[in-house]
Amino acid sequence: MSAEHDAPVGARPLLAGAQERQRILELGLSVWAFSALAAAVEGGVLDELATPQTPAQISARTGTSEALVEAVLDVLVALDLVEVDGDSFVCTPGLSAYTSGPPQQFLRADLRATPLLAAELVARFRAGGAAAHGWHYSDPDLLQAWGMRSVEPVPIWAERLFPALDGLCAALDAPTASFLDVGTGVGRLAIAMCEQFPALHVVGLDPFDTALELARRNIAGAGLGDRIELRPGLVQQLADENRYDLAWVPVMFMPADVAAQGLHRVRAALRPGGWAVLGSMAADGTGLQPAVQRLIGLLFGSGKLFADHAAEMLRAAAYERIQVLPAAPGVPIRMIVGRRPASEST
């Protein structure tokens, strides 16, 4: 027999492709782990873990079998999201913030949106990749999940970002406060901004009828129909002048030429001294996270429109006080800010 056959099994060379196969297996385990967390959120298991609970107690309150609850909890323990306390399980201190309230709503939205977007990517390739790049999603569940996900920055903006932008907090609290929500989608960001700033009036702009119909329902349900105006349309065709104190411009959904044109129109629509906040998804660099973000940027329509490119577009459109804000941990979207000069006359 050859020396290879005589060697202990553990010492034999790996089969061709074995390392790659193992990596694919690990990716599959990540999908299952993600799904276990999503199941815990959707099934109310996470709600129970603010305090130590046994699988039997959680099963009795959620209606899920005790064995399945325990199996899901084992996965969450392996992820370091849940801790074992005797016969009971409890969230880690960091995850406990997500057991109720808005943080859990944001987490649920993320856990819903991600697999829906990923499944749509696979469907594009299965169909031959014929679908055009860009945001053309129409699944109501996906649109509502993404809309809820978009709300998460609002309290952070109000607490940290807006106070650092000259004059913005005072403008948003004034009776004339006005906000432009470009790509308003299902209107969740517009609603959250109105709830955060009681004097604020919003114009939500979006080109897609399905999203706008969902937005109308959400806004009516929030009782904010008198403060939020929805318009079908494109940002590069915006005709408003000197109207808004703040504009949200998610350039991650825009090809570079559209973003460049749109930022000129947004600048004209801002009041002198008004601010634009941009959101960019694509990221430079190596590694898995930047690569995935570039893929998402392409699917959403912006391609490799990095944050620095967005800042250059603001400069080309004669904004001032331009900053690319540091990336926040756990947040893939980069924020870029710029101001229409306050010295300009209207």
Residues of the chain with pLDDT under 50: 1
Q: Note the pLDDT of residue 3.
A: 53
245 neighbors 272 (Cβ within 8 angstroms) = no
Q: Note the pLDDT of residue 242.
A: 96
Closest CA to 51 of 15, 85, 90, 94: 90
Distance CA 13, CA 141 (A): 48
Residue type, 239: A
**pLDDT tens sequence across 260-305:** 999 999 999 999 999 999 999 888 888 998 899 999 999 899 988 9
Q: Which CATH architecture fits 10-98?
A: Orthogonal Bundle (1.10)
140-149 vs 188-196: helix crossing angle, rounded to 10: 30
Q: For 186, phi and psi rounded to 5 degrees?
A: -90, 10
| CATH fold label, 140-339 | Rossmann fold (3.40.50)
Q: Which residues contact 124 (CB under 8 A, 6 or more apart)?
A: 130, 131
Domain ranges in the chain? 10-98, 140-339
Q: At which residue do the structure tokens 């429109």 appear?
A: 305
Distance CA 216, CA 226 (A): 12
**pLDDT tens sequence across 110-131:** 999 999 999 989 988 888 765 5
Q: Note the pLDDT of residue 168.
A: 98
Q: Note the pLDDT of residue 162.
A: 97
Give all strands (DSSP E) within the chain, no chain letters.
Answer: 82-85, 88-91, 178-182, 201-206, 228-232, 244-249, 270-280, 320-324, 334-339
200 neighbors 172 (Cβ within 8 angstroms) = yes
**Number of residues that make up the chain:** 346
Q: Residue-wise over 198-236: b if at least 16 C-beta within 10 A, else e?
A: eebbbbbbbebeebbebbeebbeebebeebbebeeebbb
What global pTM score does this model have? 0.89
Q: Note the pLDDT of residue 345.
A: 61
Residue 64 token pair: 């899920």
Distance CA 318, CA 208 (A): 30
Q: Note the pLDDT of residue 126.
A: 86
What count of other Cβ atoms lies within 10 Å of the Cβ of residue 22?
A: 11
